[in-house]
Amino acid sequence: MPYFLGVLLLTLAAVVRAEPAAALSELADHPRWQALLHINLGGTLRDRGNSYVDDTDFFLAENGKTDARAELVASRKALQQKDSDQRCHFPARYRFLAEQLNWNEEQPLSHCDEYREWRENMPTGQMVLVFPAAYLNSPSSMFGHTLLRLDEKPDPDSKWLSKAINFGAQVDQGDNSLFYVWKGLAGGYPGRFSVVAYAQKIREYAHLENRDMWEYALDLEPRELDWVVRHLWELRDINFDYFFFDENCSYRLLELVQVARPRARLMTELRFAELPVKTVRALRDADLITERRYQPSKAAELEHLAGRLGPAEKDLAQRLRDNPDVADSETFQAFPPERRHLMAQTAYQARRFENREGQREEDQAGKSFALLRVIQRNPAPETGSVPEPEPPESGHRTQMVRLGGGLDEDRAFGELGWRLTYHDVLDPITGFLPGAGIEGLDLRLRSTDSGPLKLEQLDLVHIRSLSPRDAFVKPVSWYVHAGWERARADGRRHPTRFLEAGPGLAWRTGGVMPYGFAIARAEHASPWTPLIETGAGAELGLLYQQPGLQADLSARGVYFENDFRRHRFRARVTLPLSQNQALRGVCERNGWRGGERDECRLEYRHYYD
Amino acid sequence: MKRVLMAAVMLGASMPVFATAPGGPGCGWGNMLFEGQSGLPIHLVATIVNGTSGNKTFGMTSGTNGCSTSGALAYDGESMLAMNGMVEEVAQDMATGEGDALTALSVSMGIAEQDRARFQQVMHENFATVFPSDDVTAADVMNNIVTVMKQDRELATYVG
């Protein structure tokens, strides 16, 4: 029997050695080989058919980046020899070639001590996609980040002991911001994979940045995950170009899933403007997600705790936060131990929240420590878990088209529009962070009886962050808005380029969020004689956001240096019709030095992609 | 006046990023700046205005946060506690009597599932011994945990 096997192997080896060109080409087209080389199968426009890897160390053939077959031939040559060093660098390629070409060796990697030591510490029980959601006062975080987690087994004893797989750009410390933006867009920074302790990621996201974390367990077997782990070793210190738009963290992680399961075909369609939420949807649509879990941020825990306190207890918790000695007061001691525990927990969490980014100071540490002693002395009541919000993938899609019409005084108009991304505070709230809006490239065209379709408005950026203040957290809201619009500069409307921004405050009273912003504005319109006119003003408003209805009411005024002024009163309502459809009504009165006009419009909004 | 305003905007725009780009080239926390910022150019502006990176002062000295693709962390209790900020997490869990960080500690110390509740309870009761003051080091905490475990009949077997 062994003799027979030996003959068979020799025969096979002879067949392979004869290099049937067709077989090799076929092998080079194998989905796994393409995945291992990170070949662009059409996911982005750059470099189609070539490898995304931008590092000569990754290729064994000179033209390996552009020729998968040449790389296969070179790999076969390099990895076939026993004790080859290259085997230690490319354990996944080795597994592929050995399986395909029937290299049956016992212990083929026995000489790769470094790799084997590392491999032993990499769990392959389960892979989880982790999506840290948007966080307080940072609408840009809606775009989010994703990472992968490797667990010892499904439902691990502690995910704090799992490994995090991360793809990130390697930034030069000295780059200033403009350079940084430009380089980030143009692919000027290299991106690399890294493997770190997942506990660090929990601290960074849930505790320091206060982001809720969504975990999506993936339907991948240990055998499939072995491919990923081997391949990660191959990617050690290997550079990819990093592009914010498409070849970003989320995109690269999809490629790793592709390595685990090449037939999943996640990357064949053009994936422009890859966003984490789209990654989640792509995996869901490929039936790769088996379970979803929610890990609340520290901020959500604090809100949950504070919600369980009565007004007197809240007041006491606040005093306790500032001075732990309050714990010895009669007022505090008069409460039952469970209530004391709750108050001390709230006070401690509030301290941590405030100091999450600060340096450790002696006074801080002493007070926090004193609070922990109070917590420990009073037994914990059952607090229950933080209620789970709607998951991000249940939200509306990222791009939007709209169609509408209205009346400018008594003149009718029709409107068409498109928005590249992503969400304003009045869009359907399900799955989004309340009070946060971020829009990029929002275009509105208008036609009237008297004229053809004309540009009415083009927002380049519009970001709003309304973060309500309460007893324990005191964030400053802010907004920034830049673009092109038709604005009154004298009696008439003129094309105006503008940039405005300002800090603000917001609160929550019942379901309504009252807010106020200061406004600083710079604009350019043809009537202005110095090229740029500057102004200042304020906006006050009320915002209401519930899954069934979003609405706001606002009033604003801006006064310019040249004594011109504008004001606006506005009411808006959005009625979601389904996950990706909504109706919006807007009525506004625009006034300026010399006149006033009323306008109402109604539009249908469709979200897609 | 206008120039001043524009200059202020530009300066304001450039400083936060400058200030929050920790870590050296190549490794570690530098890449954190990009995390949570994938996608579109627009949010970069937000980032610049807001300076979002959450890693301002943390993690600069810890040896465990680099991009150590090869550096597998050995998971015994001590090295887990040595991770930046972990002592704080464990302290909170011990004071409360339960929590993920405390569970992770018990798992990393090899404590069997049936004994973990006991471990948590003993740690909770002996909080003052494990954390005698607010300036304990990770090594102190580990020593104190071992001392406490030695005095407990069931847990002593793990530190014998």
Mutate to test the interface with B, among A44, A116, A138, A214 (most CBs of B within 10 A): A138
3-state secondary structure of A421: strand
Cα separation, A300 vs A18, in Å, equals 65
Cα separation, A407 vs A388, in Å, equals 43
- pLDDT-based confidence at A438, cuts 50/70/90? confident
Q: pLDDT value at position B31?
A: 28
Long-range contacts, A322-330 (Cβ 8 Å, 24+): A323/A367, A324/A367, A324/A370, A324/A371, A324/A374, A325/A370, A327/A370, A327/A371, A327/A374
> Residue B40 corresponds to which amino acid?
L
Residues in chain A within 8 Å Cβ distance of B24: 173
- pLDDT-based confidence at A176, cuts 50/70/90? low
Q: How far is CA A121 from CA A150, A199, B113, in A?
A: 11, 15, 21
Q: pLDDT value at position A190?
A: 77
Q: How confident is the model over A286-338, as pLDDT tens digits?
A: 999 999 999 888 888 888 988 899 999 999 999 999 999 999 999 999 999 99
- Of the two residues A523 and A364, the one the predictor is more confident about is A523
DSSP secondary structure string for all residues of A446-481: EEETTEEEEEEEEEEEEEEE--EE-SS--PPEEEEE
Q: pLDDT value at position A180?
A: 58
Average pLDDT over residues A12-36: 74
pLDDT at A563 > cutoff 50: yes
Ranking A350-364, A379-393, A470-484 by mean pLDDT, the lowest is A350-364
Q: Do B41 and A189 touch (CB under 8 A)?
A: no
Average pLDDT over residues A375-403: 91
Cα separation, A134 vs A276, in Å, equals 11
Q: pLDDT value at position A179?
A: 60
Residues in chain A within 8 Å Cβ distance of B60: none
- Of the two residues A17 and A206, the one the predictor is more confident about is A206
> What interface predicted TM-score (ipTM) does this complex get?
0.77
If one counts every other C-beta atom within 10 angstroms of the C-beta of residue A57, the result is 12
- pLDDT-based confidence at A205, cuts 50/70/90? confident
If one counts every other C-beta atom within 10 angstroms of the C-beta of residue A564, the result is 19
Q: How confident is the model over A490-508, as pLDDT tens digits?
A: 878 999 999 999 999 999 9
pLDDT at B93 > cutoff 80: yes
Of chain A residues 376-405, which have a CB less than 8 A from chain B? 376, 379-380
Which of A245, A359, A501 shows the shortest C-beta gap to B40?
Answer: A245
Q: Which helix (H) or strand (E) holds A295?
A: strand A289-295
Q: How confident is the model over B61-78, as pLDDT tens digits?
A: 222 333 333 333 333 455
CB of B99 within 8 Å of a chain A CB? The answer is: no
β partners of residue A195? A165
Q: Do A192 and B104 touch (CB under 8 A)?
A: no
Burial class (CB in 10 A: 0-12, 13-18, 19+), B56: middle
Q: pLDDT value at position B54?
A: 27
pLDDT at B26 > cutoff 90: no
- pLDDT-based confidence at A442, cuts 50/70/90? very high
Q: How far is CA A395 from CA A56, A142, A281, A580, in A?
A: 41, 12, 11, 8
Residues in chain B within 8 Å Cβ distance of A205: 54
Q: How confident is the model over A313-325, as pLDDT tens digits?
A: 999 999 999 999 9
- pLDDT-based confidence at B22, cuts 50/70/90? very low
Q: How confident is the model over A505-543, as pLDDT tens digits?
A: 999 988 899 999 999 999 999 888 888 999 999 999 999
Q: What are phi and psi of A534, to 5 degrees?
A: -120, 155
Q: Do A173 and B23 touch (CB under 8 A)?
A: yes
Q: What is the set of domains in chain A, with CATH numbers?
A: 2-116 (no CATH), 126-295 (no CATH), 309-377 (no CATH), 395-608 (2.40.160.40)
Average pLDDT over residues A435-445: 91
Average pLDDT over residues A469-489: 90
Q: pLDDT value at position A479?
A: 92
- pLDDT-based confidence at A27, cuts 50/70/90? very high
Q: pLDDT value at position A362?
A: 61
The percent of residues in chain B predicted with pLDDT above 90, rounded, is: 22
Q: How confident is the model over A259-283, as pLDDT tens digits?
A: 999 988 777 666 666 778 888 998 9
Q: What are phi and psi of A356, to 5 degrees?
A: -60, -30
**Cβ–Cβ < 8 Å for A532, A547:** no
- DSSP summary character for residue A138: B
Q: pLDDT value at position A257?
A: 93
CB of A438 within 8 Å of a chain B CB? The answer is: yes
Ranking A55-59, A510-514, B85-89 by mean pLDDT, the lowest is B85-89
Q: Do A208 and B52 touch (CB under 8 A)?
A: no
The percent of residues in chain B predicted with pLDDT above 70, rounded, is: 48
Residues in chain A within 8 Å Cβ distance of B127: 372-373, 376
Q: pLDDT value at position A171?
A: 63
- pLDDT-based confidence at A231, cuts 50/70/90? very high
Q: pLDDT value at position B49?
A: 29
Average pLDDT over residues A62-79: 94
Q: pLDDT value at position A219?
A: 95
Which of A160, A421, A465 shows the shortest C-beta gap to B40?
Answer: A421
- pLDDT-based confidence at A245, cuts 50/70/90? low
> Residue A297 corresponds to which amino acid?
S
- Of the two residues A364 and A405, the one the predictor is more confident about is A405
Q: How confident is the model over A138-170, as pLDDT tens digits?
A: 766 676 678 899 999 888 888 888 999 888 776
3-state secondary structure of A532: coil
Q: pLDDT value at position B35?
A: 33
- Of the two residues A251 and A347, the one the predictor is more confident about is A347
Residues in chain A within 8 Å Cβ distance of B38: 143-146, 244, 248-250, 274-276
Q: Spell out the alpha helix ranges (H) of A525-604.
A: none
pLDDT at B5 > cutoff 90: no
The percent of residues in chain A predicted with pLDDT above 90, rounded, is: 55
Residues in chain A within 8 Å Cβ distance of B103: 157-158, 160
pLDDT at B8 > cutoff 50: no
Q: What's chain A's average pLDDT?
A: 87
- If you count DSSP H runs as helices and E runs as strands, how many of each does chain B have, helices first? 8, 0
